[in-house]
Chain A
């Protein structure tokens, strides 16, 4: 059976898996953003904490994804089989690009701008929210974009611990040596990543103020 006719025959199933995949990615990205951006804001003025946080996030990034999913299974509360564990792992992967870009964006601001903000009597909170954050927004979004693309890819492996999504087809395809099955998972995942990258790049361009 050709991949194309396989695709047509199973379109409902593929669509379902795509939505399941998307849900994993959206939930994980939402958590990673809610954690990563404020954490980045918090650590910019605290050098020790900044080194620790960025170091920890980098370490998660270096763990092979299949191993990370495996490691999480025996851990109580966050571990086990299923979506919750997968989301925890995906958040850990998405954290580094978001955290790093938040820190880089917030600290990479023209010194003269920060100096005059301080000299004009802006409070540290005003400087953060009215100067640093708006000027860092495009860089932070670039991090979110990178993280989204990574998460869409890594989420295919989440099927290995029973989280569902497009990876289900890929693992089944590998087991049955079926190109059609592998493609039924891989092609939608790749398209999803390209689409997300494109949409976020549009948003990023709009936010680039300077």
Chain B
């Protein structure tokens, strides 16, 4: 879980992992290989990606969106259809009701669920998530966070998750990595993280007591 203020480098770090960005020095290893040694297309199809606005294709149906990467990977149609149905059920959407809808006919929470299903479609071992629940209303967000926590435990994938919400980090993370102006200033499991004395850590933990819902 990457935590940090806006502009601290969370998204940059995420984008280095799937080679949307290339490091100016040093290297980023994915499964032991530098991202620059990977074919970028192969690397990205190996890594699921979910962003804040979901980024669903507006001209595709829900089923076409979810089946996109399997389609790119040349799966046959019946296998894609079965996989789409399986995934929609996994993210809590009824395939019969939602398969043929377009993204604009969905609520924000439903779109984000489709975004997660799409990222999981080709069963990538790694999942990158950039504030996936950031644009949702508080109630929907809490609901998706809870469900996603269960899902993540069941899937057993490597998930790199960007957030600026300390509550979300504490709820979902197995390890919280705190970034400040492009540098890692802390890295610890949630319970230890709360006890750290670094000033930036304390700036974040100080948010916990105040309002019931940290504003985005």
Contact = CB atoms under 8 A, between A and B. Distances in A.
B52 A119 contact: no
Given A126-B72, A210-B104, A119 B59 contact: no
Contacts of A113: 55-58
Most chain A CB neighbours (cut-off 10 Å) among B55, B56, B115 = B55
B188 interface: no
Interface residues of B, number: 27
Most chain B CB neighbours (cut-off 10 Å) among A118, A121, A134, A209 = A121
Contact of A121 (B42, B51, B54, B55): B42
B45 interface: yes
A120 B45 contact: yes
B152 interface: no
B58 A120 contact: no
A88 to B, nearest CB: 36
A135 interface: yes
Given A119-B18, A120-B72, A126-B72, A135 B45 contact: no
Contacts of A126: 72
Nearest to A118: B20
**Chain B interface SS verdict (over half):** mixed
B72 A116 contact: no
A210 B56 CA distance: 12
A134 B64 CA distance: 14
A2 interface: no
A9 interface: no
Contacts of B69: 120-121
Interface in B62-82: 68-69, 72
Nearest to B52: A112
B53 interface: yes
**6 nearest interchain CB pairs?**
A116-B55, A121-B44, A121-B45, A112-B55, A119-B49, A112-B53
9 contacts: A110-B58, A112-B51, A112-B55, A116-B51, A116-B56, A119-B47, A120-B68, A120-B69, A122-B41
Given A112-B55, A121-B72, 6 more contacts: A116-B55, A118-B44, A120-B44, A126-B72, A135-B59, A210-B104
